[in-house]
Amino acid sequence: MFRHTYYICKNLYNKLYTYKFVMNAFDKFLIGDTSSINWCFENRHFLDRLQDNGISRQYVVDCLMNEEPIKYEHIDSSTYAAVYDAPSNKDYKEIRILMAVSGNSIDLVTIMRNNETTTERQKRQYQSQKHKNIEKKRLNAISKRKW
């Protein structure tokens, strides 16, 4: 039994050694190694969203560097999201920070309320043209009925 377990462990070690697992910047961020990551806080959209939401840049920097995220997820090939507690002066509980990862750098893409819903305009943007025409006719008919 011992010999069999030894060969399994040795085989697994050899496979891991030959594939050489490489961590990206988000993996380093998750284990707390934030000092070796090249951070980019200068994204114009990100700064606009900070101003729109009334959140200070220093608060986001403190969250990223000193706090552990409540949860995180992998969105697509190079985009990740991390959820943190919102500032105490906000009426919502959590904020979500989207990050783009390339090599050893993390660019902050945007910040939003966690589970932020889309607006009516955004929902209508993705509807089919036929549905848009029906909705236009319905709204036109309603407006004619009103005195």
Averages of pLDDT over each 10 residues, the chain, 147 residues: 52 51 75 83 86 88 87 84 88 87 86 68 59 84 80
CA angle 46/40/47 to nearest 5° reads: 20
In whole angstroms, what is the distance from residue 26 CA to residue 102 CA?
9
Residue 1 confidence (pLDDT):
45
In whole angstroms, what is the distance from residue 109 CA to residue 49 CA?
10
Residue 123 confidence (pLDDT):
56
Q: Look at residues 106, 107, 113 and name the one whose alpha carbon lies nearest to residue 90.
A: 113
Answer yes or no: pTM beyond 0.85: no
